[in-house]
């Protein structure tokens, strides 16, 4: 596989995740979209490391950062969902719209 | 498939499959450690996510077909345009040629980098993880200080089963 092919797969993952993040009403499903987007970033960073600069570890460090971001996003997301559900019994983004006021 | 299933549990496992494929592709690219770390982490993450799905979703098993999306057409247009733009950029960009060969042990390379020139990144990640632990506990706990003392923190001290602070 070439660099371009890996990057196109990564772009597809990113855009499918973006579609989920933009359309889903459930907060948990929205988080799944974000996970897919970060999966695309991980794949692109791995491909860039292998096909452009394998002698430096910068691509690998970017993957570590993205994996950590995935873990943080999920932990904080679930804590926010728990707090929201506990206080107002809602798990949908539309029902939490009053939080912006 | 992730956003096409009616069942939230099936959507979770579809996402797990997609992320396992990402881990597999990292292994194909020669990043064995990061690929296996991704696979292990995503397996646990999606297992936790499935539990949360069943806890919070109104239709976790998909027995009642229902739609929980909004602005599907607008989002589809945005995503299609983004994908087209990215593909055009990927195909037209003058990518540099590979410089050097991959090291025999990329994991050692990563470790030396994180403990050397990328130490600031590692420190930042560590602090972010610690802040996340504190923030998630504060968010998820049932008895915060505002629950115990009221919105103005002026209510009488509650009858806590175990007194907090120093000098217990």
The ipTM value here is 0.83
Min distance A93 CA to chain B CA atoms (Å) = 10
* Structural tokens at position B59: 């239709």
Q: How confident is the model at residue A1 (pLDDT cuts 50, 70, 90)?
A: low
A87 at the B interface (CB within 8 A)? no
Q: How confident is the model at residue A65 (pLDDT cuts 50, 70, 90)?
A: very high
Neighbours of A51 (CB within 10 A): 21
For residue A100, pLDDT over 60 is answered with no
Backbone angles phi, psi at A26, to 5 degrees: -75, 135
B35: domain range?
A: 1-63
Min distance A31 CA to chain B CA atoms (Å) = 10
CATH architecture of the domain covering A3-90: Orthogonal Bundle (1.10)
Backbone angles phi, psi at B97, to 5 degrees: -75, 155
A12 at the B interface (CB within 8 A)? yes
Identify whether B84 is part of a domain: no
> What's residue A99's pLDDT?
61
- Euclidean distance between CA atoms B93 and B75, whole angstroms: 26
B30-36 mean pLDDT? 89
A6 at the B interface (CB within 8 A)? yes
> Measuring CA to CA, which residue among B1, B71, B58, B3 is closest to residue A23?
B71
- Euclidean distance between CA atoms A19 and B75, whole angstroms: 6
Q: Which of B58, B69, B86 sits opposite A11 (nearest CB)?
A: B86
> What's residue B83's pLDDT?
92
**CB of A9 closer than 8 Å to CB of A39:** no
Backbone angles phi, psi at A92, to 5 degrees: -120, 145
> What's residue B106's pLDDT?
86
Number of domains in chain B: 2
Name the residue with higher pLDDT: A38 or B147: A38
When the pLDDT of each residue in chain B is averaged and rounded to a whole number, the result is: 82
> What's residue A101's pLDDT?
53
Q: Which of B48, B76, B90 sits opposite A11 (nearest CB)?
A: B90
CB pair distance less than 8 Å for B49 and A52: no
Domain borders along chain A are 3-90
- Euclidean distance between CA atoms B126 and A42, whole angstroms: 19
**CB of A13 closer than 8 Å to CB of A40:** yes
B77-85 mean pLDDT? 92
Min distance A89 CA to chain B CA atoms (Å) = 9
Name the residue with higher pLDDT: A73 or B67: A73
Q: How confident is the model at residue B62 (pLDDT cuts 50, 70, 90)?
A: low
CB pair distance less than 8 Å for A42 and B38: yes
Identify whether B15 is part of a domain: yes
Using CA atoms, how far residue B168 sits from A52, B41, B112, B158, B159, in Å, is 60, 40, 46, 16, 15
**Helices in B29-164 by DSSP H: which ranges?**
32-56, 72-92, 106-114, 119-140, 145-149
**pTM of the prediction?**
0.82
Q: How confident is the model at residue A10 (pLDDT cuts 50, 70, 90)?
A: very high
Identify whether B91 is part of a domain: no
Structural element, H or E, at residue A100: none
> What's residue B5's pLDDT?
66
Q: Which of A19, A46, A64 sits opposite B79 (nearest CB)?
A: A19
> What's residue B128's pLDDT?
94
CB pair distance less than 8 Å for A3 and B95: yes
Q: How confident is the model at residue A86 (pLDDT cuts 50, 70, 90)?
A: confident
Min distance A60 CA to chain B CA atoms (Å) = 6
């Amino acid at each position: 596989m070439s660099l371009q092919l890996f990057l196109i797969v990564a772009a597809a993952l990113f855009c499918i995740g973006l579609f989920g993040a933009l359309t889903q009403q459930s907060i948990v499903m929205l988080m799944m979209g974000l996970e897919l987007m970060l999966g695309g970033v991980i794949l692109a960073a791995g491909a860039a490391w292998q096909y452009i600069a394998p002698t430096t570890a910068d691509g690998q460090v970017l993957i570590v950062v993205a994996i950590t971001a995935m873990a943080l996003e999920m932990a904080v997301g679930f804590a926010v969902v728990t707090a929201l559900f506990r206080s107002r019994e809602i798990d949908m983004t539309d029902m939490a719209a009053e939080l912006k006021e | 498939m992730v956003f096409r299933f009616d069942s939230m549990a099936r959507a979770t496992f579809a996402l797990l499959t997609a992320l396992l494929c990402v881990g597999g592709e990292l292994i194909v690219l020669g990043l064995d450690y990061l690929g296996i770390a991704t696979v292990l982490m995503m397996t646990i993450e999606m297992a936790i996510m499935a539990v949360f799905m069943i806890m919070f979703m109104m239709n976790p098993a998909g027995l009642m077909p229902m739609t929980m999306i909004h602005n599907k057409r607008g989002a589809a247009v945005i995503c299609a345009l983004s994908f087209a733009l990215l593909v055009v950029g990927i195909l037209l960009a003058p990518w540099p040629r590979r410089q050097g060969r991959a090291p025999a042990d990329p994991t050692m390379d990563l470790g030396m980098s994180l403990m050397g020139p990328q130490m600031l990144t590692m420190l930042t990640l560590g602090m972010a993880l610690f802040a996340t632990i504190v923030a998630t506990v504060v968010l998820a706990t049932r008895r915060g200080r505002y629950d115990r003392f009221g919105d103005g923190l002026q209510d009488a001290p509650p009858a806590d089963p175990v007194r907090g602070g120093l000098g217990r």
